[in-house]
């Protein structure tokens, strides 16, 4: 029997408060309103940004359903939705592309004004939620919320993808892969023959390495305090691996010595202020470019020597790899289907939604790259 137009009761991982495990609960998911789409989630990756909400490094309201890196199938559509129909394979977009704001209409940026990243309201664009549990409204996360069997997203925050795409792999295109790969190709625009340094070798950092390699970088230096990450970094294109713990001197000095004048491009893919400054300092003093990809911890500030910028370095940030989400995600899926890049090496664990806390433990103990939860 069709579920369209009805409330769906299903399982979801609810985070009731900070620094607590997820609770697997039965939630009610309301039907999609005008210009919204209800999706059956088939697979979702666990990203460090989800963990940042748990620890408070990324401030969002509780209770909340986290998860933003997923793939699924359309269950039903709200009034006025013409570009999606039940059965379509889709990827939710944590950075929407409304097509109407200054970023979407211009050619320079990808950060749609309708993103919930800055306001952190945890609500649908109309200011309400589609989830309830035990009589309480549950917040959305970045307009996606994928740690649930069903979710509702605005049509501007959804991309239709190839019906042959394997959802348990391409879910990574919803965040980790695209964020890292695009930081190298779209934001930094790494050129052939460049020297790059990548700080942090999780799913996102390893995807930066893949992007640097595709761009033709001749030297890619991978930096992590967990040397267990080095084998995979090399497999994906790193030419050198450095553990800051093996040196007395600061890591930026080590990298400058290794390269003569510093790297052409550096990427901070951890989410720490000290490594953001180190990444800036390790790039070439005149034309080096440093890209912040890791989510900055809330309430922390950076004090740095402005001489680092005065001599000509650039310091940039990159959200969702600089991709215009709705336009780019279907193309990235097509590129994956045409074997232009791999996703398998990033997926180290596959679990079910009810094992979500185990998945987060694997991330926190540095044992996983990406865990994919299959439904
Ligand atoms: P994950 O935790 O898997 O990787 C981080 C890596 O950094 C790990 O391998 C750590 O060992 C390493 N690390 C930790 N501390 C240090 C240190 N002091 N020096 C060197 N290495 C260290 O995280 P992820 O790959 O899922 O995400 C990385 C960051 O990117 C994280 O902050 C996440 O929130 C952010 C991000 C940004 C965006 C965006 O759009 N910009 C999207 N998704 C995630
Ligand atoms: Zn993410």
Ligand 1 atom closest to residue 229's alpha carbon, by position in its atom list: 9
Q: For the domain that residue 293 is a member of, what is the CATH number?
A: 3.40.50.720
272 in a domain, yes or no? yes
Q: Quote the pLDDT of residue 334.
A: 98
Which residue has its alpha carbon closest to ligand 1 atom 44? 49
Note whether 361 and 288 are same-domain residues: no
Note whether 26 and 160 are same-domain residues: yes
Residues noted as catalytic: 47, 49, 52, 68, 175
246 in a domain, yes or no? yes
**Sign of the alpha-carbon dihedral angle for 224, 227, 231, 232:** negative
Residue 177's pLDDT band, with cuts at 50, 70 and 90, is very high
Note whether 200 and 148 are same-domain residues: no
Residue 1 has pLDDT above 80, yes or no: no
Distance 255 CA to ligand 2 centre (A): 27
**In sequence order, what are the beta bridge partners of 241?**
222
Pocket test for ligand 1, best of 45, 48, 53, 94 (most atoms within 8 A of CB): 48
For the entire predicted model, the pTM comes to 0.98
**pLDDT, tens digit, for every residue of 17-63?**
999 999 999 999 999 999 999 999 999 999 999 999 999 999 999 99
Residue 339 has pLDDT above 90, yes or no: yes
Note whether 166 and 232 are same-domain residues: no
Residues measured by CB to lie within 5 Å of ligand 2, the ion: 47, 49, 175
Distance 128 CA to ligand 1 centre (A): 31
Question: Is the distance from CB of 95 to CB of 101 less than 8 angstroms?
Answer: no
Note whether 148 and 30 are same-domain residues: yes
Note whether 188 and 168 are same-domain residues: no
Number of domains in the chain: 2
**pLDDT, tens digit, for every residue of 278-307?**
999 999 999 999 999 999 999 899 999 999
Note whether 264 and 299 are same-domain residues: yes
337 in a domain, yes or no? no
Ligand located closest to 319 CA: 1
Note whether 20 and 35 are same-domain residues: yes
220 in a domain, yes or no? yes
User: How far apart are the C-alpha atoms of 33 and 181, rounded to whole Å?
Assistant: 34
Distance 206 CA to ligand 2 centre (A): 13
The boundaries of the domain holding residue 77 are 8-174+343-374
C-alpha radius of gyration, the chain, whole number: 20
- Using left for φ > 0, alpha for ψ between -120 and 50, and beta otherwise, residue 120 falls in left
Q: What is the mean pLDDT of residues 273-280?
A: 98
Strand order in the sheet with 23-29: 8-14, 23-29, 131-133, 136-138
Ligand 1 atom closest to residue 203's alpha carbon, by position in its atom list: 25
Q: Is 370 in the pocket of ligand 1 (CB under 6 A)?
A: no
**pLDDT, tens digit, for every residue of 343-362?**
999 999 999 999 999 999 99
Q: For the domain that residue 94 is a member of, what is the CATH number?
A: 3.90.180.10
Residue 121's pLDDT band, with cuts at 50, 70 and 90, is very high
Note whether 148 and 22 are same-domain residues: yes
Q: Is 346 in the pocket of ligand 1 (CB under 6 A)?
A: no
Q: What is the mean pLDDT of residues 253-265?
A: 98
Which of the residue ranges 109-118, 173-182, 279-288 would you say has the lowest mean pLDDT? 109-118
């Amino acid at each position: 029997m069709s579920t369209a137009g009805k409330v769906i009761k299903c399982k979801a991982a609810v985070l009731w408060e900070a620094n607590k495990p997820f609770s697997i609960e039965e939630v009610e998911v309301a039907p999609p309103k005008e210009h919204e789409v209800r999706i059956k989630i088939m697979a979702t990756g666990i990203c460090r940004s989800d963990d940042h909400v748990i620890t408070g490094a990324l401030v969002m309201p509780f209770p909340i359903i986290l998860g933003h890196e997923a793939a699924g199938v359309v269950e039903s559509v709200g009034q006025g939705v013409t570009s999606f129909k039940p059965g379509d394979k889709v990827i939710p977009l944590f950075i929407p592309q409304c097509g109407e704001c200054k970023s979407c209409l211009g050619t320079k940026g990808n950060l749609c004004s309708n993103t919930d990243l800055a306001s952190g309201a945890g609500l649908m664009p109309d200011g309400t939620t589609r989830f309830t549990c035990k009589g309480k409204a549950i917040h959305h996360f970045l307009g996606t919320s994928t740690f649930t069997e069903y979710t509702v997203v605005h049509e501007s925050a959804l991309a239709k993808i190839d019906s042959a795409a394997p959802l348990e792999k391409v879910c990574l295109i919803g965040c980790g892969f695209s964020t890292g790969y695009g930081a190298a190709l779209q934001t930094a625009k790494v050129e052939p023959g460049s020297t790059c340094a990548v700080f942090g070798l999780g799913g996102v950092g390893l995807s930066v390495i893949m992007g640097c390699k595709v761009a033709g970088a001749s030297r890619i230096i991978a930096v992590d305090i967990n040397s267990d990450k080095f084998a995979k970094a090399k497999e994906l294109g790193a030419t050198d691996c450095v553990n800051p713990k093996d040196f007395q001197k600061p890591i930026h000095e080590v990298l400058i010595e290794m390269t003569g004048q510093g790297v052409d491009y550096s990427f901070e893919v951890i989410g720490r202020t000290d490594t953001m400054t180190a990444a800036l300092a390790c790039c070439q003093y005149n034309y080096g470019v440093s890209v912040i990809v890791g989510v900055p911890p809330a309430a922390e500030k950076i004090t740095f020597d402005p001489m680092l910028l005065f001599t000509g370095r650039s310091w940039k940030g990159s959200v969702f790899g600089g991709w215009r989400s709705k336009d780019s995600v279907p193309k990235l899926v097509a590129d994956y289907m045409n074997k232009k890049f791999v996703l398998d090496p990033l997926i180290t664990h596959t679990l079910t939604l009810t094992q979500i806390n185990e998945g987060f433990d694997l991330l926190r103990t540095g044992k996983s790259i990406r865990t994919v939860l299959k439904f």
